[in-house]
Each structure stands twice: as structure tokens, then as C-alpha cells.
């Protein structure tokens, strides 16, 4: 035999017996005036539910069978409803307890809000279990207007609401800060720059919560954020830059109201390690110089480099020029001078200057030439028969000239007694075993790429002397 289970459900209610937790206070009325009994400002009359019996100095109100609506709730909370600490997403409400709790202790408060743009009945409960007489309403929308109301709760029900007197706008009570002040760069490496700046003259009314740094590479319009979180100080080292690239930087301050206007951009700056070596570079190179014999000639150039280059002067490529009676060597900043005193034909040649930084060097070569006036053979030169005639002719020119000697239209270089020696400063004519046929006017053209230069020398030989 199989047994079964039977379940029976019966509902029942437990009611709290009625009781008076507070006796009504004594009331005074004018003689002859009827006594009135009110509930919730409504006049009570004798009926089947409420019996009112009047005696000489008191009345008796009898409610044979009480119901929930016979119990009075608390009065509303005591105003005004104060609103403080308003921000863009919250506001704090404060009030005082009800003056009359309706005979039952207030157990809490209901707080509601209404977005004024949603309509007159768009009340939304924020909390139904507030135990204090203050509450911060969260989750407001920035820039929206709100009304608020608070109701007291006891075991008899919910009181009438205490409402705010005017709409409140959810926003911060201050503005974003102004632009940061003077900026400068106090440190640089081959891939970083350290920025410094001054605080804004105006914080907008709220404390500054940090700074944002941006960079912009040369020839672009795009600003790129540098820091991923707000910088708390007024200096910041920008990392991950590319050496020899040009950058600008700017800074923006921020408070709880948001970011302010950015600062002016810094001067475009090339990122380079100031302590790194750079090869020498001649800003002003040596130039070919001309001078007058016996006078002073100055050779000048300008050279830069990091660290400051050591400079050496050379004559004829290998002979080093040093300070002394003949030369004055000076260095004034980037300017380098070599002063040749009492110049002679022996000083005519190539001069060079070398700038050295460790193993790096740069060299400049220059040709120095003089306008040295050759001796003028105004008078007739006399030689003995068989004596060699030697005439030295100084000239200016580089490279070496091509020389042709002729007499009476005939090329004398083919004469076995005639030789011509061309150096870098002079032409030397030698005529050996001279006789009377050597006498005459001898033109000697010196041919350069820029044209012909002619000078004439008279040679005379007298037989018997």
C-alpha cells in the first residue's frame, strides 16, 4: 500500500491592537461655541464608525472598529529643505525632523528628485531608507535642473512632502582654470626635454587637480598628448623624443570643472644633447688674399664645434705656423686670425687651417699671393762677353704659368744657350755665353688662363768689357 502526502495552505492575518500612544492635549473654546473634532483638518461627524459624545467639560470619541486610515501619519519634515555642495552630478540635501510624528516614531525618510525637463509628475525615488536628516543625491546630469522633496516615514505611513523652494542646476560652482604662465626648458638630452611652467593666474574658483602636456613635431599641426595621467607638479620631463627633430610643447591646467585653455606653444626647439660632440664646421672659410711686400696681411675664418675645436695653422701644407715674431695667432670666440707681419715673397704659398675635436677635424686651404712689384729695368744692363745674363721676374698667379721667350719674333727657348725656370713666385731667365747678337729688346709673355701678361727687359752686351 503506497502512502501519499497532502499539503493544505491557509492564510491568516495578525492585526496590531489599537492603542493611544499620546493623549490629546486640553483644548479651550469660547462659551457657547460648539466643540469641533477634526482629523487631518477635516471635521469629524457622529456616524456609524465614529461616535462623538459631548459632556459639560469633555467629549468622548469612540471608534468601535479602527482601520488603517484612522491612524494619523507624521507631519512633514521641518523646512527649509537646504541644498548644498552642488556639483555636476550630485547635491546634498538637509532638513529637520517633523514637529509632530503623529504619535509614532519616525523611522526614516523618503527622498525623491524630479528633472524639471521631464514634467510635473516625473518624481523618481532616490532612497526610501534614509535614517539621517541629510542625504547626498547622486547620478545627476550635468547642466540639468532638479526639484527635490523629502517625506517622513513612521508605522502609520508616509507624511506629506517637504519640497525645495526653487529648481537647482547640477553644475560645479566654479569654472575651468586659466592657461599656465611662463614656460621654459631647463634640461635636454638626446631624447628628452624638461619643461617648467608657472601656475595659471586664475584657478577658476576650484583647486587645480593636475596638468596635461602636449607636443607637436615641426611642420605638423597635430598636438599629441604626452602624459597619460595628470601631472601634479609644475615641471615635467618629456620622454621618447627623436634626436635632431624639432618640437613645440604646451601645457593645459585642469580642475574638477574640466580642462582650461592651453598655454602658448614653446619656441620650436631641436632635440640634441648639449654635451654631445659635434664635428667642426667653418662658418666663414679662408679666402685667397693679396698683400703688399713689407706690409701686414691677415687671414681670417670662423669655426664652431662642441667642444670648442683646437685650431692649427699650416704653411705649404705641412709647416705649422706658430706664434712668434713672424706670425700672430689669435682666437676670439669662433673667429680665428693669423696675422703675417712684414710680408715678403717667401711668404707666398698655400696656407691652411685645421680645426680638431678629438678624432674629428676639418681643414681649409687658401692661396696667399703678393702684389710684389718687380724691379724695373729702366736703364740698360751691361754684361761682358761670355757672361751669363740672369733676369728674375716676379709674378702673381696660380697654377704655374707657361712662358715663351722671343727676340725679334724668334723663339729663344730653342736656343741652347737660353733657359727659363718657372717657380711658384718668379720666372728666371738665363742667357749663357752672351755676345753682341744677344743685345736688343726681349719680350717675355707669361701665359695664364686669364690672359697674357707682358713685360720687357733690355739686355746689352758690349764687346771688350
Higher pLDDT, 446 or 137: 137
Higher pLDDT, 435 or 59: 59
pLDDT for 344 equals 83
pLDDT digits (tens, 9 = 90+) for 187-232: 899 899 999 999 999 999 889 999 999 999 988 999 999 999 999 9
pLDDT for 460 equals 36
Q: What DSSP line would sit under 167-215, residue for residue?
A: -EE-S-SS--------EEEEEE-SS-EEEEEPPPS--TTS-EEEEEEEE
Element (DSSP H or E) covering residue 443: strand 440-448
Among 230-244, 323-337, 369-383, 414-428, the range scoring the smallest mean pLDDT is 369-383
The span from the CA of 403 to the CA of 239, in Å, is 69
Residue 418 banded pLDDT, cuts 50, 70, 90: confident
Q: Is the pLDDT of residue 462 over 70?
A: no
Give the global pTM. 0.43
Phi, psi of 251 (to 5 degrees): -130, 140
- Domains (range + CATH), the chain: 22-70 (no CATH), 78-169 (2.60.40.10), 183-270 (2.60.40.10), 278-370 (2.60.40.10), 381-461 (2.60.40.10)
Whether 307 contacts 356, CB under 8 Å: no
CA-derived radius of gyration, the chain: 57
Question: For the chain, what is the mean pLDDT?
Answer: 79
pLDDT digits (tens, 9 = 90+) for 168-177: 999 988 889 9
Query: Within 13 Å of residue 436, how many CA atoms lie on the same side as its CB?
Result: 4
Residue 251 banded pLDDT, cuts 50, 70, 90: very high
Strand, helix or coil for residue 436: helix
Determine how many CB atoms are found less than 10 A away from the CB of residue 35. Answer: 11
Whether 370 contacts 395, CB under 8 Å: no
pLDDT for 116 equals 94
Residue 358 banded pLDDT, cuts 50, 70, 90: low
Q: Is the pLDDT of residue 446 over 90?
A: no
Percent of the chain topping pLDDT 90: 34
Q: What DSSP line would sit under 224-253, residue for residue?
A: EE--SS-B-SSEEEE-S--TT-EEEEEEEE
Residue 17 banded pLDDT, cuts 50, 70, 90: low
Give the three cell numbers for residue 408. 725679334
Element (DSSP H or E) covering residue 135: strand 134-137
Q: Which residues contact 312 (CB under 8 A, 6 or more apart)?
A: 320, 353, 354, 356
pLDDT for 372 equals 39
pLDDT for 375 equals 45
Give the three cell numbers for residue 360. 674629428
Determine how many CB atoms are found less than 10 A away from the CB of residue 190. Answer: 14
The span from the CA of 376 to the CA of 394, in Å, is 11
Residue 91 banded pLDDT, cuts 50, 70, 90: very high
The span from the CA of 19 to the CA of 375, in Å, is 148
Element (DSSP H or E) covering residue 38: strand 38-39
The mean pLDDT value for 308-329 works out to 85
Amino acid at each position: 500500500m503506497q502512502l501519499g502526502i497532502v499539503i493544505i495552505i491557509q492564510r491568516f492575518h495578525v492585526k496590531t491592537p489599537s492603542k493611544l500612544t499620546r493623549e490629546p492635549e486640553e483644548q479651550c473654546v469660547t462659551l457657547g461655541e460648539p466643540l469641533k473634532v477634526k482629523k487631518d483638518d477635516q471635521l469629524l461627524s457622529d456616524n456609524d464608525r465614529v461616535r462623538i459624545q459631548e459632556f459639560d467639560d469633555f467629549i468622548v470619541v469612540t471608534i468601535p472598529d479602527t482601520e488603517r486610515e484612522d491612524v494619523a501619519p507624521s507631519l512633514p519634515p521641518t523646512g527649509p529643505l537646504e541644498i548644498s555642495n552642488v556639483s555636476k552630478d550630485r547635491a546634498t540635501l538637509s532638513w529637520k525632523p517633523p514637529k509632530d510624528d503623529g504619535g509614532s516614531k519616525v523611522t526614516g525618510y523618503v527622498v525623491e528628485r524630479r528633472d524639471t525637463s521631464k514634467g510635473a509628475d516625473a518624481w523618481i525615488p532616490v532612497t526610501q531608507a534614509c535614517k539621517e536628516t541629510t542625504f547626498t543625491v547622486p547620478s545627476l546630469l550635468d547642466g540639468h535642473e532638479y526639484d527635490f522633496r523629502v517625506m517622513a516615514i513612521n508605522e502609520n505611513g508616509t507624511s506629506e512632502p517637504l519640497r525645495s523652494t526653487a529648481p537647482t542646476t547640477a553644475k560645479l560652482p566654479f569654472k575651468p582654470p586659466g592657461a599656465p604662465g611662463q614656460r621654459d626648458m631647463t634640461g635636454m638630452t638626446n631624447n628628452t626635454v624638461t619643461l617648467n611652467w608657472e601656475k595659471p593666474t586664475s584657478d577658476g574658483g576650484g583647486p587645480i587637480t593636475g596638468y596635461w602636456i602636449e607636443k607637436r613635431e615641426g611642420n605638423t599641426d597635430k598636438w599629441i598628448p604626452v602624459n597619460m595621467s595628470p601631472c601634479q607638479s609644475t615641471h615635467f620631463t618629456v620622454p621618447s623624443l627623436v634626436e635632431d627633430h624639432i618640437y613645440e610643447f604646451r601645457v593645459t591646467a585642469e580642475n574638477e570643472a574640466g580642462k582650461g585653455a592651453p598655454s602658448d606653444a614653446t619656441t620650436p626647439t631641436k632635440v640634441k644633447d648639449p654635451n654631445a660632440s659635434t664635428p667642426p664646421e667653418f662658418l666663414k672659410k679662408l679666402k685667397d688674399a693679396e698683400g703688399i711686400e713689407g706690409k701686414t696681411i691677415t687671414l681670417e675664418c670662423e669655426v664652431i664645434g662642441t667642444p670648442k675645436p683646437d685650431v692649427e695653422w699650416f704653411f705649404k701644407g705641412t709647416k705649422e705656423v706658430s706664434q712668434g715674431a713672424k706670425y700672430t695667432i689669435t682666437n676670439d670666440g669662433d673667429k680665428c686670425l693669423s696675422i703675417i707681419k712684414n710680408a715678403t715673397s717667401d711668404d707666398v704659398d698655400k696656407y691652411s687651417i685645421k680645426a680638431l675635436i678629438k678624432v674629428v677635424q676639418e681643414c681649409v686651404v687658401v692661396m696667399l699671393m703678393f702684389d710684389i712689384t718687380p724691379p724695373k729695368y729702366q736703364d740698360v744692363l751691361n754684361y761682358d762677353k761670355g757672361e751669363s745674363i740672369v733676369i728674375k721676374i716676379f709674378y702673381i698667379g696660380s697654377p704655374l704659368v707657361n712662358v715663351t721667350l722671343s727676340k725679334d719674333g724668334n723663339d729663344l727657348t730653342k736656343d741652347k744657350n737660353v733657359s727659363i725656370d718657372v717657380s711658384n713666385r718668379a720666372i728666371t731667365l738665363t742667357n749663357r755665353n752672351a755676345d753682341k747678337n744677344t743685345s736688343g729688346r726681349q719680350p717675355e709673355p707669361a701665359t695664364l688662363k686669364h690672359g697674357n701678361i707682358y713685360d720687357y727687359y733690355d739686355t746689352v752686351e758690349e764687346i771688350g768689357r
